[in-house]
Chains A and B, each alone.
Chain A
Amino acid sequence: MDAALITQVIGTGRIRPAAESSHVLGNHGSHEVFPESEEEIAAVLRAAHEQGWTVIPMGGGTKRGFGGTEEKADILLGLSDCRGIAEYAPGDMTVTVKPGTTIQEINAHLAAHGQMLPLDPYWPRQATIGGVVAANDSGPKRLRYGSARDHVIGMRVVYPDGRLIRTGGKVVKNVAGYDMNKLFIGSMGTLGVMSEITMKLRPLPPFQTLLLLAFSRSDFTLIRSFAVSLLDSLLEPVSMEFLSPAVHRNMNGGHGYALAIAFEDEEKAVRYQEEWVKARLPADAEIQSWEQEEAAEWWMRFARLPPSGVSSGDREETLAVKIGSKNLDVLEIVRACHDLGERYGLDAQAHGGVGHGITRVYVTGNPTLFASYLTEIRSLAESRGGYAVVQHASLERRRELDVWGRKPAAFSLMEGIKRSIDPRRVLNPNRFIGGI
C-alpha cells in the first residue's frame, strides 16, 4: 500500500508505524491506525475500500490469536481510542458504549447506579466490548444471563466501504426490519466495524455466593445425577461450571473434578439455595463457599485462565479450544479434554457449563501434538452434534491447524453475505470460517 495516502484520510497523529515488524500471533498491520471517532473509522475504511487495502480491527488485543492465517494486513485498526460511555439511561436499563471501552470500565460505570452488563467474558480489564461482541465471548454466567446475542439491542456499524448503518435501536424490544444486530455478533470483524453498541442491562444482584463442590473420587455417575437433579430442581443457579482437575488445582489447589455453582439473588433466596445444595451433596463431594466480594474475586481470577493475546511469552504456545455441545454433553467433553491431555502428555485445563453447553480447554506442552489433540476433541464434539473451534494459537500453529472445522450447512449463504457487504474483502480476510 501507498503509505502517503493514509495520511490524507486521517491525521498523522493517529498513525503509528508498526512497533515490530511481525507478531507471533499474526493479525498484525503494516501500519497501526487509531481513529478517535466514527468519522475517522469511516474515512479509513472508505480509503481502504477504494485503494484495495486490507484492514484488521482490534480492540484490546486479547483475541489476537483467534482465527486468521495472515501475518499482517495493510492496516491494523486499533479501536482503543474510541472509548467511553456514549449514553446511559439507568431508568431504561440500557447503555450505549463506544467499541474500545473495556468490560471492566463499563461495569464500573454501571455499578454506581446499581446495574450491570449481564455478560462475564474473559480478561474484562483488557477485553473491549467491541471485541467481545465481534468474537461472541461469554463466561460461565451465561447459564442464567445469556450471551451477547441476548443483550445487544442496537449498534452503529461502519461498513467496509465507509457507509454508516444503524442496526436495531435503543429500546429493549424491537422487531422493525431484520434483526441486523445478529449479523455482527460473532462475525469476527469480517463485515463491519462497530462504532457504538447499545445493550440491555440488569440490576446488580443484592447478594451472591459461590459454592465449589469437589468430587475427589471422580465418580461420573454421581456427578451427572447430581447435576441433572440440580438442573431439574427449582433452583436458579447463575453458573454450574464443571472444572477439570487441572483448573480445580490452578484455582484452588484442589484435587479431582469440581463444580462451581453460583447464586445471585435476594439474600434469603441465595441462602435457601445454598441449603438445598448442602442437603443433597453427593457422597464423595466436599464443599467450599465464598460470598459477596470474595466470590466476585474468585470469578475475576477465573476470567484470567485462558491465554490472552496481550499477555506475554508463556501464552504463545498455548492452544485454546472452544467446544459447543448440548448442555449435558459438557461433562463428558471436559473429561475427554482432561484424559486426552494425560494420554498425550499435555497439560490440559478444561471447564464447561453444565446447562449452557460451552466448554473451553487450554492446552500447553509439546505443540507438535496440538493437531492430533484438536482432531480427537473435534471428532468427539461432532459425533454429538457439536463443534470445536480454536480460540487461541500462535500464527504458526494456526496455519497447521484447522481453526474452524468443517463448513456449516448453508455456508453458501454466509459467503453470499460476506460477498454482498465486503466484496473487496477489506476486513479481516481469511479470519473466519471457510476462508471468509
Chain B
Amino acid sequence: MPAIDPIVHELARIVGADSVLYQREDLAAYECDGYTVHKHPPRAVVFPSCTDEVAAVVKYLHDQNIPFIPRGAGTGLSGGAVPLGGEVIISLVKMKRLLHVDYENRLAVVEPGFVNLKLTNSVAGKGYYYAPDPSSQYACTIGGNVGENAGGAHCLKYGVTTNHVLGLEVVLANGEIAEIGGVPDAPGYDLMGLLTGSEGTLGIVTRITVRILKNPEGKKTVLAYFDSVEEASQAVSDIVAAGIMPAALEMMDKTAIEGVEAGTYPVGHPKGVEAVLLIEVDGIAAGIDDQIAKIVSVCQGRKVSEVKVAATEEERARWWANRKTAFPAMGSISPDYLVQDGVIPRSRLPEVLEKIRQISERSGLRIANVFHAGDGNLHPLILFDARIPGETELAVRVGSEVLKVCADAGGSITGEHGVGIEKKEEMRYVFTDDELEAQLQIRDVFNPRNLLNPDKMFPKPGRCAEMRAAPVEIR
C-alpha cells in the first residue's frame, strides 16, 4: 500500500479526518464533472464546513505552492472542476446553509454549497423566487453558479447570475477573506463582476448575497410547431421585433424532439415536425393575453402548423420538464452525446443552423439542436458512440467546428457553460493574443502564483510570462 500523502495530515488537522478523501477509490468520483471526455483523479478532496476552514486550507496550500480547485455539485459542462493536473479539490458541499432571507430588501444570503432550486423552494411560500434557472438547478450549487456565471432558460428577460449577485464573501488565493459588494454600485472597481464567471480562478466564494424576485402575477406558455427550422427562426425574430420580451423562448429541432419524446418526459409532440418553439410570457396578468395574441399571430404569419397555449399549470410544467431534460434524453437515442454551447446574434439563426446541418452531414454524426433561441444561445448535442474508435475525438472536433461557425457569425464560444478545459483553444476564435493577455493580467493580480484552478480557461501555450509564472510542481 502506498504511503499516505503528507498533505492529508495537514488538511485533516484543519477540517477533521473525516472531511478529507485521499484513497484512490474515494477520489474516483472527483475525476471529472459534467464534462466526461477528460478525467484525472485529484490529489485529495477536502470538505471545509465554514469560511475560516476554507481560508485555512487555502492558506496552507498557497504556502506549500500546491494548486487547488473549488468545486460545487460537479454539474459543470466544460470541465472546469476536472483536476487534470492532480490538484487538490476543495469541495464546498458541506457549506450548504441558507443563512438569511430579507424579504423587504429582496435578498437572500446563502453558503456556496446551497442548491439553486432549494433557494426558490425556500422563498416560494411568500411568493418569491431566485431567477437564474440552469437546467441542472435541482443539483447545481449557487457557488458553482457564481463561478460559471450560470444562465438558464429564463435569462432572456431576467438576466444571468451576474445580474442577481449583490454581494460576495470571498477567500482570495493567499487565504485572505474579503467582503465585496453588498450594496449597489459599491465604490471601486467591480471585483464582484470579475469574480462572477471566473471559473474558480480568481477566488473561492464562501458566502453569496443574491437578489430574490417576486413571482410574476401571470404566466402563459405557448408551444408552436413548424415544418421548417427557417420559419421557426424567423418567428423568433418576429416576436422580438413585435416588442415582446418573452420570459423564455426555446427551440428544439427534429432530432432533439425525437430525443425528448424517447426520454423520461414525453409530451406527445407530433411526428414529422421540423422545429418546436416553447415561448413563455410573464408579468402583470392583465397584459398577458394581448401578448399571447400577438405571439400566436406572429407564428401564424410564419406558417406554424400548430400553436397552442398551456391550459393548466400541470401542462405547462410537463412542457418544461420535457425541455429541461433534453440533454439526458439524448441518452435514449444515442449511446453518447456532447453538449455544445455557442452563441450567435439571434438574427443569424437560420444561416448558422444550416451550417451546423452541413457539419453534421460531412462528419456523419447526428446533431440535435436544443437552444435558448431568444438570446441566440445554441446547444447543439453531438451524438456519437464512444465504443467506436475515433468517434469521441471526431465529436470533439465537430464541436469545435460548430463553435467556429458561431464565432464567425459574430457570436461567442460559450453562453453559459464556461470555457473550462473544453474550450480553452477555442478562446482564440474570439480573442486576440493581446486580449487574452489582458485577461491573464487580471488573473495575475488575484492569483499571482496561478494556484487557483490552473490550466483552465486560457489556451496553451499562453505566453512567455505564463511559463515563468508556472507553479513548482510538488508531487
Contact = CB atoms under 8 A, between A and B. Distances in A.
Contacts of A147: 184-185
B284 A234 contact: yes
B187 A433 contact: yes
Nearest to B441: A420
B194 A356 contact: no
A404 B159 CA distance: 30
A175 interface: yes
Q: Quick one: which of A92, A166, A324, A385 has the most chain B CB within 10 A? A: A92
Interface in A159-175: 159, 163-167, 169-175
B284 A272 contact: yes
B457 interface: yes
Contacts of A206: 243
B250 interface: no
A420 B214 contact: no
A170 to B, nearest CB: 5
A175 B149 contact: yes
A416 B173 CA distance: 14
A42 B334 CA distance: 53
Interface string A259-272: 00000011111111
A177 B431 contact: yes
A236 interface: yes
A324 B445 contact: no
Contacts of A171: 343-345, 375-376, 410-412, 415
B345 A178 contact: no
A163 B170 CA distance: 31
A176 B149 CA distance: 10
Interface stretch (A181-189, A246-254, A292-300): A181-189
Interface string B93-124: 00000000011111100000000000000000
A228 interface: yes
A293 B240 CA distance: 24
A175 B106 contact: no
A173 B343 contact: yes
Given A92-B346, A185-B193, A324 B415 contact: no
A181 B163 CA distance: 13
Contacts of B458: 177
A149 B185 CA distance: 10
A178 B410 contact: no
B414 to A, nearest CB: 5
Contact of B183 (A138, A203, A387, A404): A387
Contacts of A265: 283-284, 287
Contacts of A159: 438
B191 interface: yes
A357 interface: yes
B81 interface: no
A13 interface: no
Determine the main DSSP class of A at the interface with B: loop
Interface residues of B, number: 94
A138 B185 CA distance: 10
B261 interface: no
A417 B445 contact: yes
Given A265-B287, A269-B287, A272-B286, A174 B184 contact: no
B244 A203 contact: yes
B372 interface: yes
B331 interface: no
Interface stretch (A26-34, A50-58, A100-108, A406-414): A406-414
Nearest to A166: B435
16 contacts: A90-B241, A149-B193, A165-B434, A166-B435, A169-B430, A175-B416, A177-B430, A178-B197, A178-B442, A182-B193, A232-B103, A266-B291, A269-B288, A271-B286, A272-B285, A432-B188
Interface of A: 89-94, 114, 136, 138, 146-147, 149-150, 159, 163-167, 169-183, 185-187, 191, 202-204, 206, 228, 231-236, 265-273, 322, 324-328, 355-358, 385-387, 389, 404-405, 408-411, 413-414, 416-417, 420-421, 432-434
Name the 8 nearest CB pairs between A and B, nearest first. Answer: A182-B193, A269-B287, A266-B287, A203-B243, A269-B284, A234-B217, A91-B347, A416-B445
Given A171-B412, A186-B190, 18 more contacts: A147-B185, A149-B163, A173-B343, A175-B149, A175-B419, A176-B430, A179-B149, A183-B193, A183-B442, A187-B190, A202-B245, A228-B104, A268-B287, A326-B107, A385-B182, A389-B187, A410-B179, A421-B441
